[in-house]
Chains A and B, each alone.
Chain A
């Protein structure tokens, strides 16, 4: 069972080889069947998997079977008993262990010659150098915040002088029998942030309803968690994972529900409301993860066209998929707005830059505010911040040479990225 040359190798990959040894009618012209593409897939391509939960477990197993041999997986969580109904790389004896480590160990034990490196970390623990080493990133997350972070990070890493700095981001998500997978090519396609307005913000209830006119069991639970907890325990943070805390909330909300003749408060609902638990099942995760890994395979090998760029899946009434191209948004915080080089002279100061911007007819900029990754450079408003940043106006622009400055202004769709040269 060696992955070297020879018979065993060819046989193990017999299924996948069908589509690597020859192109098909829908294969891109860039595809080169045979040795090289196999070598790239099985020896060179490095893939990062973010999340080792319901989707992540499926993703790491699929990618390993597909033939990727250098995988990394990041997850900061540990295994809970409620994960076992779908996170199939974990056993009862793993409860409490790191998800990333358990998933990596399992896959390496099951599939020969695949190396899975586990990172029991937050994605924010790593910088550009870490992310730069991968060819592809596949995300199976349930957090909007983490997705926004990795999306912005990969977008900002793109450098035209280095095509390999473009890391396709393949993102999957599920909720009950629904899910979606999408392919994001930073700077080329629409990005995750472009679709932020499409998301439903987390469910919340009017605070006055919670306080005075509860009608649903959820109102009673939010009363206990939002209003009562901070009142009774002003210095203790509510821990959604602590059963003692959940029990306290349950008892409080039950008392309130009884007082108002409201039915339906129970442990499961309390936990669901405070942890914002999303129902989840193995089959949907399998479908979405398979779709994501299939896109990773197609992108890595060019054996067939990849998804452009969004697939919605709905499985409760028959099966329905809607595949479409989600459009870039000009006002997107991450990828919207123009990027340009601006030539500046060494004797110029920040104040001169403001003047140059205002005189550029194409932007119609009136009151530009400036920042870079070090923080704010100049803010027009409110007065306190204007005063605080005013000292920077006399700074020499040579200090910022080679850097990118982000400009915001009411007249810009969102921002303008200026690189001073």
Chain B
């Protein structure tokens, strides 16, 4: 150990015992405080001292989902950013890229997640889903087929579903902004 200890003596760099903040925690602190949320998005921390669990509310101001208020939960593990956050929608909505259980089809949430990405990238990706629903690779295939078949019809069904009306017999949650 002699060599190592002597190296430490030579290489003094002002190192003092440091606080025990986990790498994931600190990375989340950086990600969250550097979020750039447009007016259509906001966050809510049920426990403001816990940065690993929060809600993201998206209220699109254009597109077919305008007027809705969509609440996602973010659940970040202590292995962030090696593992992506777990993101779910808390409401049941009619959308090609979201299923009735709140699962979200967004590549950077799963197969394309990389540690160099951050929460801002995810937030932008989620917002985009409401501006440009993607019918090519759907999660809710029925909704996607409806969109491909007749865009106008689909639009009116989106509007109906957002106000809590059933679409083709399937009930949906009321998600209009209050």
Contact = CB atoms under 8 A, between A and B. Distances in A.
Contacts of A206: 105, 107, 110-111, 137
A404 B137 contact: no
A135 B4 CA distance: 11
B170 to A, nearest CB: 15
Interface stretch (B18-26, B68-76, B147-155, B159-167): B18-26
A346 interface: no
Interface stretch (A49-57, A207-215, A259-267, A309-317): A207-215
B122 to A, nearest CB: 14
Interface in B41-59: 42-45, 48-49, 51
Interface in A198-253: 199, 201-202, 204-209, 211-213, 226-227, 230-231
Interface of A is mostly: mixed
B156 interface: no
Contact of A371 (B4, B21, B139): B21
B81 interface: yes
A406 B110 CA distance: 30
A207 B103 contact: yes
A197 B114 contact: yes
B40 interface: no
Interface string B1-37: 1111111110111111111111110110110111101
A156 B20 contact: yes
A333 B97 CA distance: 34
Q: Give the size range of B's interface with the partner.
A: 35 or more
A165 B18 CA distance: 12
Given A145-B82, A168-B4, A406-B21, A208 B12 contact: no
B18 A404 contact: yes
Contact of B29 (A339, A369, A417): A369
B32 to A, nearest CB: 7
B81 A30 contact: no
Contacts of B66: none
A211 B139 contact: yes
A80 interface: no
Contacts of B7: 185, 188
Nearest to A146: B79
Contacts of B104: 207
Contacts of A31: 2-3
B15 A185 contact: no
B137 A209 contact: yes
A40 B33 CA distance: 49
Contacts of A42: none
Contacts of A376: 29, 49, 51
A404 B19 contact: yes
B67 interface: no
A380 B103 contact: no
Interface centre among B2, B11, B22 (most CB of A within 10 A): B2
Contact of B14 (A152, A160, A408): A160
B118 to A, nearest CB: 11
Interface stretch (A15-23, A105-113, A381-389): A381-389
Interface centre among A152, A207, A230 (most CB of B within 10 A): A207
Contacts of B137: 206, 208-209, 212-213
Interface in B79-121: 79, 81-84, 97, 99, 101, 103-105, 107, 109-111, 113-116
Contacts of B2: 30-32, 302
A211 B141 CA distance: 9
A68 interface: no
A328 to B, nearest CB: 12
Contact of B20 (A209, A211, A339, A373): A373
Contact of A153 (B4, B20, B78, B105): B20
A381 B1 contact: no
B138 interface: yes
A300 B4 CA distance: 9
B49 A148 contact: no
A30 B14 contact: no
B141 A158 contact: no
Contacts of B5: 163-164, 166
11 contacts: A145-B79, A145-B82, A152-B20, A153-B20, A159-B15, A160-B16, A187-B15, A207-B105, A207-B139, A227-B99, A302-B2
Interface of B: 1-9, 11-24, 26-27, 29-30, 32-35, 37, 42-45, 48-49, 51, 77-79, 81-84, 97, 99, 101, 103-105, 107, 109-111, 113-116, 137-139, 141
Give 3 nearest A-B pairs by CB, closest first.
Answer: A373-B19, A156-B18, A163-B5
Given A157-B18, A206-B111, A227-B101, 7 more contacts: A32-B2, A207-B139, A212-B139, A371-B26, A379-B32, A382-B32, A382-B42
